[in-house]
Amino acid sequence: MISNISVFCASSQKVDPVYLQAAFELGQLFSHHGIHVFYGGGAVGLMGRLADGVMKGGGKITGIIPQFMLDQGWGHPGIQHIVVQDIHERKKKLAENADALVALPGGVGTMEELLEMITLKQLGQIFSPIVIVNINAFFDPLLKLFDQMIKQHFMREIHKNIWTVIQKPAHAIDAIRDAPGWDGSAIKYAPA
């Protein structure tokens, strides 16, 4: 059963509206399925639209936000926040109780979060499905880089089972349910 999902996404408001719409749709989807969403706590960009989608659907969303970001007024005013000391603690809390981790398009912060989760899963430290929502082919360059890493033996072919790529938010639940199993034995595959 999927109870808690953590979402990584952008706080930029200047992006193509297709990304903002996708975040809103994802929030509504999770709300419709009774899933508690955790995210970075922001009020604008994809973060804000994700939260708005969850709230419009009557769902539950919690922002995990460092104090310095809250001090800047970046927190979404309509939601409950868990205030942490720094980005490291935020990522730890986002990964802690997540039944799945979902990445929407974003900037370097989103990429850093996604790559850390992939690394932790590769090392057998987390086992949750990781879903990459590839709206507008945004993640294509990163996915091509992953293929290059595998082709040149920096990663193994089995590491492709760490993540699942979807094109539309509507496919997120199925992608989570159908994700390949992963467990502590993954550590033996970590060295390429």
- Tally the domains of the chain: 1
* CA proximity to 102, closest of 33, 27, 5: 5
pTM of the model: 0.95
Is 183 inside a domain boundary?
Answer: no
Q: Which domain, by its residues, includes 22?
A: 4-177
Which CATH number is 117's domain given? Answer: 3.40.50.450
What's the confidence (pLDDT) of residue 158? 93
Facing residues of 40 across strands?
A: none
Is 153 inside a domain boundary?
Answer: yes
Confidence of residue 192 (pLDDT cuts 50, 70, 90): low
* CA proximity to 132, closest of 160, 102, 154: 102
Is 166 inside a domain boundary?
Answer: yes
Is 192 inside a domain boundary?
Answer: no
Is 185 inside a domain boundary?
Answer: no
**Model confidence pLDDT, tens digit, residues 16-42:** 999 999 999 999 999 999 999 999 999
What's the confidence (pLDDT) of residue 105? 98
Is 182 inside a domain boundary?
Answer: no
